[in-house]
Structure 1
């Protein structure tokens, strides 16, 4: 197993509550994360610790089907979720902090463990993850900055 860690930040011209509500609802992911083709919530009720999703995405040329589960949830501020099984397992999170009247900062963190033959490609996978995150944050900026 090898670790893939990445932290990305972006400043947004939108209220923190709006940004958090959007990114914490993972069913919105296909609107701003180009690699995700399908995601559905598989637990009923409001978002909370224990909320689970199933998703299909393309990553590094591969089709990946995975599940995630919320392991921390602070409404309006922070959500962390784990991907408990697969070739890449680990934790990702979004932290949304107000920076002014109607503006905020989003910090995205990924801390994955990569197994199998893919562990030898962690440096390349890190570059791909960073590129994909930069595209996603740019798309989110457009969605949030220009309603």
Structure 2
């Protein structure tokens, strides 16, 4: 059962370039994304369309490993989209960063099709995933604002 697109936003009191630089570094993922155990960039160079990442995460007590590829990206990193290439269920995500004076508005979307992986729990999975997205953004805000 596919879930509808989940969305969350937050305002971070840091310049847009600082926020993008922190999020672009996949080594930071486990610090702010609650489910991420490990995140590695598998391709060379700066993040761009076609870049591939391997992510190991824990969700509902299961360890999931997925490869992701960047499908869209602005030259300045202010918008990107990615989709899973491997793993137990298809996922798509995007992030958009907007300058708002001295702060940055960050918007994230996540589409996930849990289908056969969490058959019975599909409605619960959506709720848990939304809560995780919100916690992740609270973590991101706290880390970036405390290091200012």
- The normalised TM-score by structure 1 is 0.92
Contact preservation (8 Å) 2:3, 2:126: no
Q: Give the count of matched residue pairs.
A: 146
Partners in 1 of 2:118 and 2:57 — Cα distance? 17
1:20-99 aligned within 5 A: 20-74=20-74, 75-99=76-100
1:121-140 aligned within 5 A: 121-140=121-140
Partners in 1 of 2:114 and 2:25 — Cα distance? 26
Q: Over residues 33-82 of structure 1, what are the superposed CA-to-partner deviations in whole Å (9 max), with x where a residue is unaligned?
A: 12111111110111100111111110011110111100011123111110
Contact preservation (8 Å) 2:89, 2:117: no
How far is the alpha carbon of 1:137 from its aligned partner? 0.7
Quickly say closer, same or farther: Cα 1:104–1:58, change in 2 above 3 A.
Answer: same
Q: Unpaired segments of 5 or more residues in structure 1?
A: none
How far is the alpha carbon of 1:24 from its aligned partner? 2.7
Partner of 2:103: 103
Contact preservation (8 Å) 1:14, 1:104: yes
- 3-state DSSP of counterpart to 1:88: coil
Higher mean alpha-carbon deviation, 85-94 vs 133-142, is at: 85-94
- The normalised TM-score by structure 2 is 0.91
Partners in 2 of 1:51 and 1:103 — Cα distance? 28
- Which of the two has greater strand per residue? 1
Q: CA RMSD in A?
A: 1.4
Contact preservation (8 Å) 1:87, 1:115: no
